[in-house]
Structure 1
Amino acid sequence: MGVKHGREYEHILQELTVAVGRIPDSYLFFEMEAEEWERLGSEERAEVQEALAEDLFYALGEQSVIPVGSGVVIHDRSHHRIDILIGDEELTFVSLV
């Protein structure tokens, strides 16, 4: 189903892809090993991160907190945004409106 949004999905997806790319071990979401990730070229990594962003966008409609590697992705309904955190530190957020 995905999260409710007022912005174009394409723009949200682009920003979310960049945001989850800031989680250094985001590949763990797909149960990849570090060695597998290292073998991927930059285009392949970008494809994996975009797939991750798509999966998260739709999953956050059902589950508001999703661990991704050493980070966590949170659908903040009250502020209409998706927060990306590592520990207590906010890395970034993606606005939905």
Structure 2
Amino acid sequence: MGVRFNREYRDIVRDLGAALGQIDNCYSAFEMEQSDWDGLDREEQIEFLQTLADDIFYGLGSEPHIAIGEGKVQYDPTNHLIRVWTDSQIVHLIKLI
């Protein structure tokens, strides 16, 4: 099926990457330890998170829920949103249109 969107893709990936960075243990998606993640500078972390956001975006086209670290990501096709839950249940909404 695929995720339907009308916003600039790079803006969606930027917003999704920023939201993913709020999830505890998000680096586990890269099979990293916390010490490895902490050893990266902020720019490198952002690059990793945007790569993860890109992968998740396409994954949501076939799986409506994806677990990441201590959180999860959900595609809501009815409302054209991607929801990101952190371990503390804070929801980030990524608008797709």
The answer to whether TM tops 0.5 is yes
Matched letter for residue 39 of structure 2: R
For 1:36-55, what aligned pairs fall within 5 Å after superposition? 36-55=36-55
Distance 1:54 1:2, change over 3 A: farther
Q: Any stretches of 5+ residues in structure 1 without a counterpart?
A: none
Identity among equivalent positions (%) equals: 37
Q: CA RMSD in A?
A: 1.6
Query: Where does structure 1 differ by over 6 angstroms across 4 or more consecutive aligned residues?
Result: none
Q: Quick one: distance in 1 between partners of 2:12 and 2:26? A: 18
Q: 1:86 Cα deviation (Å)? A: 2.5
Q: Quick one: distance in 2 between partners of 1:91 and 1:25? A: 16
What is the TM-score with the length of structure 2 in the denominator? 0.91
- What is the aligned residue count? 97
Q: Any stretches of 5+ residues in structure 2 without a counterpart?
A: none
Does residue 5 (structure 1) correspond to residue 14 (structure 2)? The answer is no
Instruction: Please identify which structure carries the higher helix content.
Output: 1
Matched letter for residue 31 of structure 2: E
